[in-house]
């Protein structure tokens, strides 16, 4: 049976119960009733005063708990899950919160395992249940409820009915600050309606390496000025949507060919290159009032010659970010269970090192009991001073006060259903996505497709996406479409099957995904495209992730870049194929030739129209 959240006045009584100086705290809570990302100096001082009063009534265990952001398994706060038992020794998400008193939780979908995200109403109910558990425990501090919902089709947690927005590189192709701002506002509004008050977005990395396996289309592109401009607009949009923003991954993850989930990348930029390329978007985010900055598990020798990742580097976190850049708000780690953190820092070391470096919150620290005990031992021994601990806890409390969590920890579960995926949001998303499609090559007027091209073969990468695109084409009047997925690494048999089918159709649309960056996969996809071109029939290649794929098949007659394989992007592709939409996107990266000595195929800013 679903419990009804307490009223706002009841929540205040719960929060204030047992607090020293309740009357003084009430003023601070009243102040925080609105989301105040840019407070006046007087308001800032009242927030600090309130946070200090809260800190004084917290035990050491509660202070340490505030440092951690944990994952919980299950769709409701009171549902038992074996994984909670395995990780935490308790069965329900509410019991995890009661045991560890964490500063925050982070939601994931079933792909990682926690399976927190089923429907808007369910997510809102889970958020309310976890807040209820936090407010019944100890110092009664509300939770940061966080998620990675970047937009696009790479890092996202909520699928439909949540509105699907283009990712950063797609938005950068559209070159519209208003579209970036509106996209972030829609995401923020929908997250806030479900009780999610912290989005770990936007990505502020400048992707200057075509072989980057982890950032790519998550970035706004390769130009620091464009990235800076659009990162700032994204922060503005999230604030309009009343959700906290987080610029990541500091000091810049854009020039690497190693995935920090599995290894430890080394960024070889000089300090001058960092100032010119990597740091400007973070400076822009700070100037715009970003709430949070997330550190990266990358080694940057020009900033710290010790070889430790940025997350563990006092020179980078405290020296550069806190002191030189003047960022005085929340610093969080990237997930501490990633390979870039665990490679050299075991569970009893990583959280202490990150805290000593200057990080405030420790995200997904493995082995919770070990991590908590390690921080407690470090504080008891003086390795981490009480003042250092208190400084982070104060910033966490100030963040929660500034974002209105004390008077408004609960959300209306009925409203979540109405807000998430609303008609207005989906209509705006479709219009924004139409403006991101980029026509890179169009020989002999292949596009838009003529009225005679009524029998279309859709082939290439991924069964789901090929099927969606074929059904969308077939939904048009007088069009027929055949779906023939070949997968990411088509073999000779599949390629021959596609070639045979292409000869029997008027035109072939072939989807590619990361064909330029993965050697074996890329070569196989390129073989498919080249074989289709040899049929002499019109061929349109559609790169549904990175725009670099054309490096492997530069002679394809027509080439579109979508930067996303989400349903809205595929729908926009169909509208573009038939001339309903005149492609207006421009490349936010340059596309180098496959052989380094052959220069650039397409310059930054290139884009064709009809």
- Each residue's pLDDT tens digit, 166-215: 999 999 999 999 999 999 999 999 999 999 999 999 999 999 999 888 89
Q: How far apart are CA 449 and CA 609, in angstroms?
A: 14
> How far is the C-alpha of 145 from the C-alpha of 166, rounded, in Å?
23
**Alpha-carbon span 211 to 453, nearest angstrom:** 36
Q: Residue 267 and residue 598: Cα distance in Å, rounded?
A: 25
Q: Which CATH superfamily is domain 437-602 in?
A: Glycoside hydrolase family 3 C-terminal domain (3.40.50.1700)
Distance spanning both ends of the chain, measured CA to CA: 57
Closest alpha carbon to 322 in 392, 243, 239: 392
Q: Residue 353: enclosing H or E segment and its boundaries?
A: helix 350-357
Catalytic residue among 44, 115, 259, 261: 261
Contact 176, 578 (CB under 8 A): no
Query: For 522-563, where are the E strands, in sequence order?
Result: 539-543, 558-561
Alpha helices in 208-349, H assignment, sequence order? 224-240, 271-273, 280-287, 314, 339-342
The yes-or-no verdict on residue 12 having pLDDT over 60 is: no
Predicted confidence (pLDDT) per residue in 289-306, tens digit: 999 999 999 999 999 999
- Residue of 314 and 137 predicted with greater confidence: 314
With 0-12 CB in 10 A as exposed, 13-18 as middle and 19+ as buried, what is 171? buried
Asked whether the predicted pLDDT for residue 32 surpasses 80, the reply is no
Active-site hit among 334, 360, 417, 549: 334
SS3 content of the chain, % helix, strand, coil (to 5): 45, 10, 45
pLDDT of residue 11: 36
Burial class of residue 406 in the structure, from the number of CB atoms within 10 Å of its CB (0-12 exposed, 13-18 middle, 19+ buried) = buried
**Which pLDDT value is given to residue 26?**
34
Neighbours of 316 (CB within 10 A): 25
What is the C-alpha to C-alpha distance for residues 192 and 241, in angstroms, rounded to an integer?
Answer: 7
- Asked whether the predicted pLDDT for residue 24 surpasses 60, the reply is no
Cα 52 from chain centroid (whole Å): 32
Residue 457 CA from chain centroid, whole number:
34
Helices (DSSP H) in 77-176: which residue ranges? 82-88, 93-100, 120-135, 168-174
Which sign, positive or negative, has the C-alpha torsion 487, 492, 494, 497?
positive
3-state SS class at 164 = coil
**For the chain, domain boundaries:** 8-423, 437-602
In DSSP notation, 96-115 reads HHHHH--SEEE---TTTS--
Q: Strand runs (DSSP E) across 83-177, as ranges?
A: 104-106, 144-147
Residue 9 has pLDDT above 60, yes or no: no
- Segment holding 46, helix H or strand E: helix 41-56
Q: What is the pLDDT of residue 519?
A: 67
Average pLDDT on 486-491 reads 94
Specify the pLDDT at position 78: 97
Q: What is the pLDDT of residues 211-229, one digit of tens each?
A: 888 899 999 999 999 999 9
Give the mean pLDDT of the chain.
Answer: 92
- Establish whether the linkage from the previous residue to 74 is cis, with ω within 30° of 0: no
302/315 Cα distance (integer angstroms):
11
- Pair 171, 178: CB distance under 8 Å: no
Averaged pLDDT, 273-280:
97
**What share of the chain in percent tops pLDDT 70?**
93
Tens-place pLDDT, residues 343-380:
889 999 999 999 999 999 999 999 999 999 999 999 99
Q: What is the pLDDT of residue 2?
A: 38
Decide if 81 is catalytic: no
Closest CA to 250 of 231, 278, 215: 278
Determine the pLDDT at residue 111.
87
The whole-angstrom separation of Cα 44 and Cα 36 is: 10
Give pLDDT, residue 341.
Answer: 85
CATH 1.10.1740.10 fits 8-423, yes or no: no
């Amino acid at each position: 049976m679903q419990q009804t959240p307490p009223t706002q006045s009841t929540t205040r009584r719960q929060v204030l119960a047992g607090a020293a100086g309740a009357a003084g705290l009430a003023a601070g809570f009243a102040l925080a009733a609105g989301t105040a990302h840019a407070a006046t100096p007087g308001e800032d001082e009242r927030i600090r005063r309130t946070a200090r009063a809260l800190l004084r009534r917290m035990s050491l265990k509660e202070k340490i708990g505030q440092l951690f952001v944990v994952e919980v398994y299950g769709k409701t706060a009171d549902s038992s899950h074996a994984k909670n038992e395995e990780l935490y020794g308790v069965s329900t998400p509410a019991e995890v919160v009661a045991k560890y008193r964490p500063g925050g939780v982070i939601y994931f979908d079933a792909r990682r395992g926690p399976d927190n995200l089923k429907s808007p109403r369910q997510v809102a109910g889970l958020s309310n249940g976890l807040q209820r558990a936090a407010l019944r425990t100890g110092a009664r501090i509300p939770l940061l409820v966080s998620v990675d919902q970047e937009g696009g089709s790479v890092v996202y947690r909520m699928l439909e009915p949540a509105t699907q927005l283009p990712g950063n590189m797609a938005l950068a192709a559209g070159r519209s600050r208003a579209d970036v701002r509106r996209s972030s506002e829609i995401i923020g509004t929908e997250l806030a309606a479900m009780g999610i008050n912290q989005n770990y977005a936007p990505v502020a990395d400048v992707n200057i390496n075509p072989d980057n396996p982890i950032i790519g289309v998550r970035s706004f592109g390769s130009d620091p000025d464009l990235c800076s401009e659009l990162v700032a607009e994204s922060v503005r949009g999230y604030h309009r949507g009343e959700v906290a923003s987080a610029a990541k991954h500091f000091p810049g993850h854009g020039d690497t060919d190693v995935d920090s989930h599995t290894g430890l990348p080394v960024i070889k930029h000089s300090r001058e290159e960092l100032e010119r390329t990597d740091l400007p978007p973070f400076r822009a985010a700070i100037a715009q009032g970003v709430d949070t900055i997330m550190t990266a598990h990358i080694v940057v020798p020009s900033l710290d010659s010790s070889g430790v990742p940025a997350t563990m580097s006092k020179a980078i976190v405290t020296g550069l970010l806190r002191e030189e850049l003047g960022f005085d708000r929340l610093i969080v780690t990237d997930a501490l269970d990633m390979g870039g953190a665990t490679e050299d820092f075991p569970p009893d070391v990583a959280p202490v090192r990150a805290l000593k470096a200057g990080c405030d919150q420790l995200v997904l620290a493995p082995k919770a009991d070990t991590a908590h005990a390690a921080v407690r031992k470090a504080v008891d021994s003086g390795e981490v001073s009480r003042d250092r601990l208190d400084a982070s806890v104060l910033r966490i409390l100030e963040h929660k006060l500034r974002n209105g969590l004390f008077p408004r920890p609960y959300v209306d579960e009925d409203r979540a259903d109405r807000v998430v995926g609303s008609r207005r949001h989906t209509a705006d998303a479709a219009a924004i996505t139409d403006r991101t499609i980029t026509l890179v090559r169009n020989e002999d007027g292949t596009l838009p497709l003529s009225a005679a091209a009524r029998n279309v073969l859709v082939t290439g990468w991924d069964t789901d996406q090929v099927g969606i695109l074929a059904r969308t084409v077939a939904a048009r009047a007088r069009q027929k479409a055949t779906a023939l997925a070949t997968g990411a690494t088509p073999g000779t048999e599949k390629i021959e099957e596609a070639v045979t089918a292409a000869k029997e159709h008027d035109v072939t649309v072939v989807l590619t995904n990361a064909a330029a960056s993965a050697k074996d996969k890329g070569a196989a996809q390129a073989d498919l495209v080249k074989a289709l071109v040899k049929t002499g029939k019109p061929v349109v290649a559609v790169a549904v992730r990175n725009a670099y794929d054309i490096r492997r098949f530069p002679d394809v007659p027509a080439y579109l870049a979508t930067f996303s394989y989400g349903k809205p992007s595929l729908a926009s592709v169909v509208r573009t194929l038939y001339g309903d939409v005149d492609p207006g996107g421009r490349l936010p990266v340059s596309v180098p030739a496959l052989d380094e000595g052959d220069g650039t195929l397409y310059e930054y800013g290139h884009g064709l129209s009809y």
